[in-house]
Structure 1
């Protein structure tokens, strides 16, 4: 038996690969308040799956193409004719509906929609691992290359322009990275849960981070812990693996909020006691 013959080992490697790519990108999604943007891109993935099966091309290529088309459409049209959130709502649900309808017309092809909606990490094969880790390396390399420019464009677009950084270019970089993450993550957590893996670890890491770099590293650690904890919990309790991973991430977020609140309350009590002592 080789190292990759164990389906649990393949699942763990796939989940960690997606987590390492999604969490740092998720920090920018949180900072830029792009959660709905990520959701719309993820929903479009189902249409990509249906088109891939129709034209007999790679699922990764089809999902990546449709996710990119969705992301660039929103970036181009948002704020012109309709408010961005309205356009996102229309496109997200329309793409998901068209994808589901298109899948129903696939004759002679058996498609497990639940696997693409909620993920099927336990069915990951060695070839899938190569795609996932290749996509993760691309996203991490892209973020490392454009990190300073992305941060400046996120914090103060006007200042970025004065420093020669084009915020529109950096948005395109994020759009590309987001599409790649959606394409590699659909088999792990599914189209409906990808946004959760992007946002929840980043939100859980935020209270403990003093710098953007710290937040990105902590978010990656929390996402990886969510994947490994979710796999273990799903194995023991016989629950759906993708949703269980997100549940573990949500529990870590709740623990983060509770701990932050407890520390803040303790600080307020201590400050109150100090003021009474001064009197």
Structure 2
């Protein structure tokens, strides 16, 4: 079964969707859209470093994304104007990554695969890493769920309950870096944050509880993967952008439903 490239693409997309739903919900609740952009855009620099040193793409992107996520998390505790800082870091990270990758001849011809994903080229090893990482991130989110949720609702309330918001912010930073590394082959660095935000934003008006929103976002992300891959196969469109376009279509439809 895994010899079929389309089946592997579907399984890889569903693996990312499985974790994009709950993690994307936290990104929406905490208004971390630019946080995701900065982390995802930094992944291009990780790609350049990995190719330059002939290392694993996943390892390089995860290390750089983690460094960016922790840096942004540290800045968040200093009371800076975070929307401006995150905007500067996101675009600077992408620009530096593109400049760095231009010095790696092996990456020039396949740059679009890292920017927009190449899910149809996912192999068995990629599939194993995606699902192992997704299960690991889900386990962490399940373990810290109540603490993460309390810290997202109100940091003062979290501190009164004996929860350190800084620790929960670091946990989210680490899980976000892992998801960025896992997703770069599926939707690419430019579309990772969209895959996190759009399904969660669509689920927001369709859910009554945080757990319901996370579950609904996961279902929307999974359906977007299937619809996007189907459209890519039938219409010969890029797979990664097709997946995000399908999610965007669901978001538009969700706006016609009155929030509960």
- Show the 5 A alignment for 1:37-116: 37-78=35-76, 80=78, 82-107=80-105, 111-116=109-114
Q: Deviations over 1:76-129 (max 9, x none)?
A: 124648522222122111111111111111146655110010010000000000
Q: Which whole-Å deviations, capped at 9, do the CAs of 1:27-72 have from their partners, x for residues lacking one?
A: 0000000001001100000000000111111110100000011011
Instruction: Mark the CA change 1:225 to 1:106 in structure 2 (over 3 Å): closer, same or farther.
Output: same
Q: Do 1:103 and 1:111's aligned partners in 2 also have CA atoms closer than 8 Å?
A: no
Q: TM-score, length-normalised on structure 2?
A: 0.96
Task: Output the CA distance in 2 between the equivalents of 1:107 and 1:153.
Answer: 45
Partner of 1:8: 6
TM-score, normalization: structure 1? 0.90
Q: For the Cα contact (< 8 Å) 2:116–2:190, is it kept in 1?
A: yes
- Measure, in 2, the Cα distance between the counterparts of 1:109 and 1:251: 32
Q: Is the 8 A contact 2:39 2:69 kept in 1?
A: yes
RMSD of aligned alpha carbons: 1.5
Q: Which runs of 5+ in 1 are unaligned?
A: 265-279
Q: Is the 8 A contact 2:102 2:108 kept in 1?
A: no
Q: Secondary structure at the match of 2:208?
A: coil
Q: Contact 1:121 / 1:242 at 8 angstroms: preserved in 2?
A: yes
- Going from structure 1 to structure 2, the CA distance change for 1:33 and 1:81 (only over 3 Å counts) comes to closer
Q: Higher mean Cα deviation, 153-162 or 28-37?
A: 153-162
C-alpha distance in 2, partners of 1:210/1:108?
49
1:74 deviates by 1.1
Higher Cα Rg, which structure = 1
In structure 2, the partner of 1:139 is 137
Q: Distance in 1 between matches of 2:14 and 2:5?
A: 14
CA distance in 2, matches of 1:220, 1:233: 20
Q: Deviations over 1:195-248 (max 9, x none)?
A: 111011111111111110111111100000000010001110111111111111
Q: Which residues of structure 2 form unaligned runs of 5+?
A: none
Q: For 2:104 and 2:80, how far apart are their aligned partners in 1?
A: 34
Count of residue pairs brought into register by the alignment: 260
| Residue matched to 1:234 | 232
